[in-house]
């Protein structure tokens, strides 16, 4: 059971952090360079919609498996790195929930209304949140592998 929980935990993290890395460093620069806003903004809204839905499922697996592993070991005896991972991970979940629950609907609304300046503003806000979560996620991976 411990190995299955670890697999679910790592798979969710790979999907989430890998997806943020891909979106920010691979998809976004090419979309900005090659597509005008009228094409780029609907594309990014559609891609983010699919990505956010997948991440929502990954977040459930990450949080549930992490919590179950922590309960199995016990909070008092769990390594400090695990507590740091949990704290950072929960902050990432809060940021993700804000991006998916507040910002993404605003992006969809702006794109549907063809309000390209507003869609661009919201997308930039989402980008900054993704960069924050990507940096925090990378730091958590360092903590998880090297310890605190």
Distance between CA 20 and CA 1 in Å, rounded? 29
Closest C-alpha among 100, 96, 121, 135 to residue 41: 121
Interval 38-69: pLDDT, tens: 999 999 999 999 999 999 999 999 999 999 99
Give the total number of structural domains in the chain. Answer: 1
Average pLDDT, the chain: 96
Tell me the three-class secondary structure of 41-86, residue by residue: HHHHHHHHHHHHHHHHHHHHHHHHHHHHHHHHHCCCCCCHHHHHHH
Distances (CA, A) of 110 to 50, 69, 106, 134: 18, 41, 6, 25
pLDDT computed for residue 95 by the predictor: 98
Instruction: Determine if the pTM surpasses 0.85.
Output: yes
pLDDT computed for residue 147 by the predictor: 83
Q: Tell me which residue range forms the domain holding 24.
A: 2-146
Distance between CA 69 and CA 87 in Å, rounded? 15
pLDDT computed for residue 58 by the predictor: 98
Higher pLDDT, 94 or 148: 94
Interval 84-140: pLDDT, tens: 999 999 999 999 999 999 999 999 999 999 999 999 999 999 999 999 999 999 999
């Amino acid at each position: 059971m411990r190995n299955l929980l670890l697999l679910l935990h790592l798979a969710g993290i790979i999907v989430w952090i890998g997806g943020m890395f891909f979106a920010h460093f691979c998809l976004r620069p090419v979309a900005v360079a090659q597509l005008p806003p009228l094409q780029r903004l609907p594309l990014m809204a559609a891609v983010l919609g699919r990505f956010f839905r997948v991440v929502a499922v990954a977040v459930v697996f990450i949080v549930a498996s992490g919590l179950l592993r922590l309960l199995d070991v016990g909070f008092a005896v769990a390594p400090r790195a695990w507590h740091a991972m949990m704290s950072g991970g929960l902050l990432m979940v809060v940021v993700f929930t804000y991006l998916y629950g507040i910002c993404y609907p605003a992006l969809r609304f702006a794109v549907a209304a063809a309000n390209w300046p507003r869609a661009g503003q919201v997308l930039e806000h989402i980008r900054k949140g993704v960069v924050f979560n990507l940096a925090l996620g990378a730091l958590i991976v360092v903590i998880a592998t090297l310890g605190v």
